[in-house]
Amino acid sequence: MNKKTNNLKWHLLFIFTIGLISAGVYVASQSINYKWQWHLVWPYIIDTSPMDIIAQGDATASVDAAGTLTLTYDNGDPDTVISNASQLLVSEGDFIYEGDQIARVDSVRSGLLLDGLYMTLKISVISLLFSIAIGLITALMRISANPFFKNLAILYIEIIRGTPLLVQIFIVYFFLGTVFDLDKFTAGVVALSVFTGAYVAEILRSGIQSISVGQMEAARSLGMTYPKAMIYVILPQAFRRTLPPMAGQLITLIKDSSLVSVISITDLTKAGREVVSGSFATFEVWFTVAVLYLLLTSTLSWVIQRIEKRLASND
């Protein structure tokens, strides 16, 4: 009972402290005369502004009684018919030139930040799958008795862990990208997977080596080959044991993906930068970007905790 009231006191203190920090941020921004304009950020998440429709070539416009606009192109291309326009910018018989705005259409579409979030999600998920595959293969090579595989794995891990990710991204993009003619997205995925793969390899290696020798001996004495013993006995246990450090590494991967913005992939970070230069709502945009990253990482963290709990119930 006493314990509970005690805890309540600390919870209140926690809420009070958070309030204090928020107030501090507000006061600080007041002191530099910053005017918060959160409404400027919203269109960059969900864009509800009418969409302009641009003429694809020189044409003649005709509008019927129902308000349907038909463009008949001079070069004989199939007609463009627009029946859902909220506003027509041309009238019957107008001559239209290529690139003219001819109408506006109501639309709800994802804004730049949401597109950036999607790109970050896409590049992270693809890199995550590749990095686990690379990590698994490297871990198995690392513990192999064969000096060729073992040294190759050690060399790879040491090089990757000893150089900054940003430098690796530049090397992959400018060197490998030029040699193998990679587009920037592929280059980004390669750099992130190869980087994270080295860390995943070390995590998995420690996991595999933490399984007692008796497990391998028991599996082998039942007649299993080394690969079968690995697949059915050692790896399932190693994966379970390495789940917490693996979660940390994969969350790091999502955050590190912000570095691919330097090779002009429009991920969440680059989208943030573009939105700032368009809206001048610097503080609001970066806070929003941070929250969106937090959304991704906390979701992944939650999923892995669920898996961990489910597996733990078996023990």
Partner 1 sequence: MTNKNYTGDDIVVTKNIDKIYPNGCHALKNVTTNIKRGEVVVIIGPSGSGKSTYLRTLNQLETITSGSIMVDGVTMYDEGTNINTLRENIGMVFQSFNLFPHLSVKENVMLAPLKVSNRSKVEVEEEAETLLTRVGLAEKINIYPTQLSGGQQQRVAIARALAMKPDVMLFDEPTSALDPEMVGEVLDVMKSLAAEGMTMVVVTHEMGFANEVADRVLFMEEGELLVDDIPENIFGTVANHPRLQKFLSNIL
Sites of contact with partner 1 (CB under 8 A): 212, 214-215, 217-225, 228, 232-233, 236-237, 240, 314-315
Residue 113 CB, nearest approach to partner 1 (Å): 42
> In whole angstroms, how far apart are CA 199 and each of 177, 196, 231?
23, 5, 21
Q: Which is nearer to partner 1, 21 or 222 (CB)?
A: 222
- Residues pairing with 51 in the sheet: 105
Q: Which is nearer to partner 1, 68 or 237 (CB)?
A: 237
> How far is the C-alpha of 89 from the C-alpha of 86, rounded, in Å?
10
Residue 231 CB, nearest approach to partner 1 (Å): 8
User: What is the number of other CB atoms lying within 10 angstroms of the CB of residue 107?
Assistant: 12
Q: Which is nearer to partner 1, 186 or 237 (CB)?
A: 237
Q: Which is nearer to partner 1, 112 or 246 (CB)?
A: 246
> In whole angstroms, how far apart are CA 275 and each of 49, 206, 260, 283?
16, 43, 17, 11
Cβ-contact 57, 80 below 8 angstroms: no
Query: In 3-state terms, what secondary structure has residue 143?
Result: coil
Residue 291 CB, nearest approach to partner 1 (Å): 38
- Give 18's Cβ-side CA count (13 Å radius): 5
Residue 23 CB, nearest approach to partner 1 (Å): 51
Residue 199 CB, nearest approach to partner 1 (Å): 24
Q: Which is nearer to partner 1, 92 or 217 (CB)?
A: 217
Please identify which residue in the block is written with the tokens 């192109």.
Answer: 73
